[in-house]
Structure formats: structure tokens, C-alpha cells
Amino acid sequence: MSREEGIRVRSPFDGKELGRVPIASAADVDQAVTAAGRAFVELGLALTPFDRSQMLMALHERLSTEREDFAQLITAETGKVIRESRAEMERALFTLQFAAEEARRIHGRVLSCDVTPRRTGRVAHVYRVPRGVVGAVTPFNFPINLLMHKLAPALAAGNAVVAKPSPQAPLSAERLIAVCREVGIPEGLVQLVQGGIETVLALVAHPGVQVISFTGSVAAGENIARHAGLKKLIMELGGNDPLIVWEDADLEQAARVAVEQGLGTCGQRCTAVKRVLVHRTLVERFQEGLIDRVRRLRVGDPSEPEVELGPMISVAAAERVETAVKDALERGAESLVGGERRGALLPPQVLGSVPTDAPLVVEETFGPVLPILPFDDLDDCVAKVNATIYGLQAGLFTERLEVMKQLHARLDVGTLVVNEGPGFRIDSLPFGGMKKSGLGREGVISAVEELTEEKTLIF
């Protein structure tokens, strides 16, 4: 399909058309996967760890010089405020650097076969080898760094990649793949297909794809799993991440983190603070500090440096969050900070006395909303945190070691971050969750392991 007939990409802030991308047909997907498979055999397997590391560092060097152009493009097509887009590019560069380092560290192990009464005189050499073609399906909210988390470890491990970015933010990914080719990454090893769910399903069902690495919603992940068949699946499916404010917490720092991580990117990130659980004795004091911070946020054009909150990705997304807030209010919640939606621009919302069965807190509300939930003690806190299908990350403010240990043991989350929020992430660390938050782990070191498999030689 031509660009004229494809996806029109518009600014979430003012609706301006930014460009168009063609939609890949099933035949286009087949061609991309076939080319990637051929390149994997003919080119990828011939690259040494040093070659792969140098290849990724060449991409790092080039992106370092173009980071501002990429940041402007991210802001234009996602509505993310410009300082956050610049921060995303900094993270993407670190992700690349970590992957370039890991390309040289992939190693196996040696195991003795003489571990039973039978003397074999043999030894097993276990190698880690690339899996083949990786289908990388990414969302809109971090269009460069989330793609980098799939692309860079896959190339570091010696795989080929077929990328399928979100139709809501396809231009950043298109430019990234173009730069990959410009810096000398063999064209066949990195392919791009654009489109919606039909393109995704054609990619994940293709027999030439060995791994699906997906970031998105639970519903989409379950649909992909039904179509993928017997493939390696790496899935990050979101979170309903709590920030827990214990009775000895630093309230000023807790309020700062709640605002930064709950309302940054308009709350449209899997690790955003989506629930604030506050010890009942602190609720009033905490709310006062939080409300003051939220009311001082500057909302508007995301391209302006002083703006801290821009539009959501679409009008439909903003309407969905607006509906969830209204539902919570009808159930008895109290609006502490609010405001009227203007198109995709939804002012930050803070709600108190939110019923624990409201969809706003049971489900993942992907928007600029901070619901405050009081808790009484450890058991009450654990019960409220775990009362969701998700289990990605959690943040905790306390100085009490025993509380840290108890919550780490009892919360159904992949990571507990102390005296920080659930949005804290270093891109080399394991990243993933429990329950329906996903399968496997990302983070460059873990991703390289997921994207390789063991092959044993016994002699």
C-alpha cells in the first residue's frame, strides 16, 4: 500500500498531519520475515561478538548526534512533553550502550558428566546461540526506547528483527530503522512493517518468526498468544503500580514522586504510579502536599520547554480516562483536583475516598489520574496492592527494614523500589512482572538471555 493510502499520523495536541506510513499487507509481512530469516543465516551468524558490539556502537554514535531531532519527533507524534522526549533519548542511548557491552559477554558454561557412579570421561560445553527472527511489537508511549529494548539485545545476541511499531507513533520507529541501515547494519537484519492488528497477527503467526517480543495491553497480549503458536513469547503487559506511603514516610518526597511518576507522560506508561496507598494516619497531610504540587503543574503545548503535562495520545484515550473518573465519582470518590477535558488534553485528576472496587483502581487507568487509597496495617496494604490482575512494580516510602522485607516477600510484583516510585528503572536491570503483567524479562542483560537458547556439545 502507498503512503497516500496508509496511516495518517497527526499531532495529538493540534491535529496537524505529520506524515503518512504505508500499511503492510500479509504479503509484505511475509517478504520482510523471509528476508530477515535469510539475512540471519547468511549474515547474522557470521558476525562475531566484536562485530555486533561495534555495529551497535556505530548506531549509538549516530543517534547521539541526532538525539534532539528524534526528541522533537517523539513529542510531535505522541504529545509527550519535550523534556520527557529528551530523557527518552538519553535512556535509549544507554540501552544501546548496555547492549553493545553485552554482545561481548555472551558465554556458556562447562559441566562435568561424571556426576553419577557411571564414569563417562565426558564433559558438556553449553553454548548460548541466537534464536533467529524476532518479531518486535511496540506501543506508542516510548516509541524509541521500547523499540531499542527489543532491537538492541536482539542484534547483540545475533538475531534478525522485524519491527512493528504502534500505528499511533510510527514515524520515530521508521526513522530509527532508516538510521540503522545508514550506519551499516545489514539491511536484511532489521526489517520494518507498519500497520494495525492485522499486521501484528500476520507477523506473530508467521512460521519464520521464532520469538515474539511484545509490549502492550493484556487483551492484545492474549490475542497474540492465541495466534503465535509454539514460539518464544516475551511480553510486558502493563501494570497497576502502587506507591505505598508508610507511616514514617518522607511526605514531601513521596508527593514529588507521585506527581512525577503518576502524571508524567500523562500516566501513559506501564510503570506509572496508578494508585497511591497512604497510611490512614497520614492521608490528610499527604493530600495537602500532593494537591499543592499538582495545581502548580503547567499544562499545554508539549513542545514548549516549561510545559510539564501535554495531551494524551488521542481524544478517544482522554475520553476513556474521563469516563473512568466520572464512574469513580458516582461511586462516592471525592474530586480533590480536576478540570475539564479539551480534546486530548485532560488536566491532572486527584481523587480521594475512592472505592476499592472502582474500575479506576482495579484496572490499569492509563492516564493522568492519582487515586488515593488509605490503608490501616501491613495485611490491609498487601491485600489492596494484590487485588488486581497485574503485578509489575511497586514503590514504597519507609525507613523500616522489616516493612521492606515483609512487603517484598508478600507483594505480587516483579520489583519493589524503596524510597522511590514504581517508575524507577535502570535499563540494564531485569524488568517484568507477575500475574498478567507479562511473560519473561526485559532489561538488556535479561533480554539477551531470553533472546538466546542453550545448545550443548558433549565430548
pLDDT tier, 83 (very low <50, low <70, confident <90, very high otherwise): very high
Mean pLDDT on 287-299: 96
Least reliable range by pLDDT among 44-48, 82-86, 138-142, 162-166: 44-48
Helix (H, G, I), strand (E, B), or coil: what is residue 81? coil
CA distances from 400 to 135, 220, 257, 314, 442 (A): 44, 39, 19, 42, 30
Which of 236, 308, 364, 450 is the catalytic position?
A: 236
CA dihedral 426, 216, 382, 242 (to 10 degrees): 60
**Mean pLDDT, the chain, whole residue set:** 96
Mean pLDDT on 60-85: 98
Instruction: Based on the fold, state whether residues 226 and 249 are members of the same structural domain.
Output: no
Instruction: Based on the fold, state whether residues 109 and 7 are members of the same structural domain.
Output: yes
Instruction: Based on the fold, state whether residues 35 and 155 are members of the same structural domain.
Output: yes
Instruction: Based on the fold, state whether residues 448 and 398 are members of the same structural domain.
Output: no
What is the domain-level CATH number for residue 207?
A: 3.40.605.10
CA separation for the pair 138, 147 (Å, rounded): 6
Instruction: Based on the fold, state whether residues 198 and 254 are members of the same structural domain.
Output: no
Instruction: Based on the fold, state whether residues 88 and 188 are members of the same structural domain.
Output: yes
pLDDT tier, 116 (very low <50, low <70, confident <90, very high otherwise): confident
CA separation for the pair 103, 53 (Å, rounded): 5
Instruction: Based on the fold, state whether residues 24 and 116 are members of the same structural domain.
Output: yes
Q: What is the pLDDT of residues 211-241, one digit of tens each?
A: 999 999 999 999 999 999 999 999 999 999 9
Per-residue burial over 101-112, b = 16 or more CB atoms within 10 Å of its CB, e = otherwise: bbbeebebeeee
Count: domains in the chain: 2
Which of 180, 266, 270, 381 is the catalytic position?
A: 270
Q: What is the pLDDT of residues 241-277, one digit of tens each?
A: 999 999 999 999 999 999 999 999 999 999 999 999 9
Query: Is residue 431 a part of any domain in this protein?
Result: no
- Percent of the chain whose pLDDT exceeds 90: 96
Query: Is residue 188 a part of any domain in this protein?
Result: yes
* Number of Cβ atoms within 10 Å of the Cβ of 346: 28
Instruction: Based on the fold, state whether residues 210 and 265 are members of the same structural domain.
Output: no
- Residue 113 a catalytic site member: no
Contact of 241 with 392, CB cutoff 8 Å = yes
Instruction: Based on the fold, state whether residues 119 and 19 are members of the same structural domain.
Output: yes
Mean pLDDT on 19-44: 96
What is the domain-level CATH number for residue 247?
A: 3.40.309.10
Instruction: Based on the fold, state whether residues 379 and 421 are members of the same structural domain.
Output: yes
Instruction: Based on the fold, state whether residues 285 and 229 are members of the same structural domain.
Output: no
Instruction: Based on the fold, state whether residues 261 and 346 are members of the same structural domain.
Output: yes
Angle, CA 25 vertex, CA 21 and CA 30 arms, to 5°:
115
Range of the domain at 170: 3-237+437-458
- Residue 180 a catalytic site member: no
Query: Is residue 232 a part of any domain in this protein?
Result: yes
